[in-house]
Structure 1
Amino acid sequence: MPWAHPELYETWSPSNFAQTVKTPMLVVEGALDFRVADGQPFQIFTALQSRGVPSELLYFPDEGHWVLKPQNSQLWYKTVLAWLDQHLSP
């Protein structure tokens, strides 16, 4: 848990490695996800944006680690497929 060993979470936070990322990144965050430390998705997204790395944030305030609600699932699929179309096209 993040509160048990905050130094480990800080050490391995993805935002600490943003300076090396060049690949476009779609960041998906469910606010109720207990597996991801609070704020980390926003930190990496902000870091990528500030470096000019193509990135997008898809935020679900009412989801956990998995996007399960039908309306959210539709948005997830639409966003992910559009992202792949944009970034994997030859």
Structure 2
Amino acid sequence: GKKMGKTEKGAVWLDPAKTSPYDFFQYWRNIDDADVIRVMKMLTFMTLDEIAEYETLEGAGLNRAKERLAYEITAMVHGKEEA
């Protein structure tokens, strides 16, 4: 089916036929800096201690947190091979 609303292009689907695992990973990899830790807490099975290691990162260091977030969510949805 089609997404209802103004933009179908901005939709992220769990179905790999609609959003490839690569695009799915990139969506989470490019999440806004301010949302990374909050999303880690809500959508991953990472421990709070693991997440705390990323909370103080800034700038280029924050990219490590984004990559971990993208990996964790993509692995959960599409499997570790695709992540």
Identify the TM-score tier after normalising by the shorter chain.
0.3 to 0.5
Structure possessing the higher relative contact order (Cα contacts under 8 Å, 6 or more residues apart): 2
Larger Rg: 1
**Normalized per residue, which structure has more helix?**
2
Normalization by structure 2: what TM-score? 0.32
**Normalized per residue, which structure has more strand?**
1
